[in-house]
Amino acid sequence: MKIIELGASVTASNDRDAEALRARLKAKGILLVNVMSAAGSGKTTLLSRIVKDMKDLRFAVLEADIASDVDALTMEQAGAKSVQVHTGGMCHMDAGMTAAAFDALESTDFDIAFLENVGNLICPAEYDTGAALKLMILSVPEGDDKPLKYPLMFAESDILVISKTDALPYFNFDVEKCISRAKKLNPGIAVFPVSAKTGAGMEALESALRTIRNSEFRNPN
């Protein structure tokens, strides 16, 4: 037996898969957004609102769940192409699973693809899925203390969406406090308080997504 010194990260194979997928999507002009949040934060409601509002763009949604296809059906009804991925009990999506989900979509004629990650504020933050943008959602009923409890998720995300702001009158959720806690962990994070139900704040979020999509691909098709 000989000893081989590796010094490689355990997830080195995932990091390579992620880089390969990023390059593939860039060539196709697809902005992949990794959407992460706890279960019940309103991921599907927010995404179907975006799909309905931004009718000039073509959307795909990769739905990652441990079981069922209810979210995929909702997204199809909103007008996005969708594929349901069952993670088989795994708590997060990795780059290999994300690439396989794209293959299952058959078509690649999309402007923005949302990866709706498993509902969980912990593990998805640790895995590079190949996405160009990481967006997390924190809903008002979850509480403004979550940046303190799940620091990695807030530190890793490019965009924080505070959802269900229509419920603010019923909860002790301090939006300013939440934003300052998130910015302490991640000074560059962009924050959008929204209500997908009333539409409040949606325009700012949607125009930011459009700007990122267009700057990522200077000649969109």
Partner 1 sequence: MHEMGIVLHLAKTLDETAEQEKLTKIGRVVLQVGEVSGIMTDLFTDAWNYFKGRHPVLSESELVLETIPAVTWCDNCKRTYETVKYGKECPHCGSAETWLLKGNECIIKEIEAE
Residue count of the chain, please give it.
Answer: 221
What is the nearest approach in angstroms of partner 1 to the Cβ of residue 148?
8
Residues that contact partner 1, how many (by CB under 8 A): 25
Specify the residue, 80 or 178, whose C-beta has the smaller distance to partner 1. 178
Cβ nearer to partner 1, comparing 5 with 56? 5
Identify the helix (H) or strand (E) that includes residue 180.
helix 175-185
DSSP letter at 221 equals -
| Interacting span for partner 1 (CB under 8 A) from 29-37, 43-51, 83-91, 99-107 | 83-91
Count the neighbouring beta carbons within 10 Å of the beta carbon of residue 100: 12
Our measurement of the distance from residue 181's CA atom to the centroid of its chain's CA atoms, rounded to an integer in Å, reads 20
User: What Rg, from alpha-carbon coordinates, does the chain have?
Assistant: 17
Q: Which stretch binds partner 1 (CB under 8 A): 22-30, 122-130, 167-175, 212-220?
A: 122-130
The site string for partner 1 over 175-214 (x = CB under 8 A, - otherwise) reads ---------x------------------------------
Note whether 4 binds partner 1 by CB under 8 A: yes
Cβ proximity to partner 1, 89 vs 169, nearer residue? 89
Stretch 26-65 residues interacting with partner 1 (CB under 8 A): none
Alpha-carbon dihedral angle through residues 84, 85, 89, 94, given to the nearest 10 degrees? -150
Q: What are phi and psi of 65, to 5 degrees?
A: -140, 160
- Distance between CA atoms of residues 38 and 15, nearest Å: 24
Among the listed residues 27, 56, 89, 221, the single contact to partner 1 using CB under 8 A: 89
Chain Cα centroid distance, residue 211: 17
Closest CB to partner 1 among residues 96, 201: 96
Q: Closer to partner 1 by CB, 119 or 193: give it.
A: 119
- Residue 85 CA to residue 11 CA, distance in Å, equals 21
Compute the distance between CA of residue 143 and CA of residue 90 in angstroms, rounded to an integer.
26
The distance of closest approach from Cβ of residue 85 to partner 1 in the complex, given in angstroms and rounded to an integer, is 14
* Binding-site ranges for partner 1 (CB under 8 A): 1-14, 89-92, 94, 122-123, 126-127, 151, 184
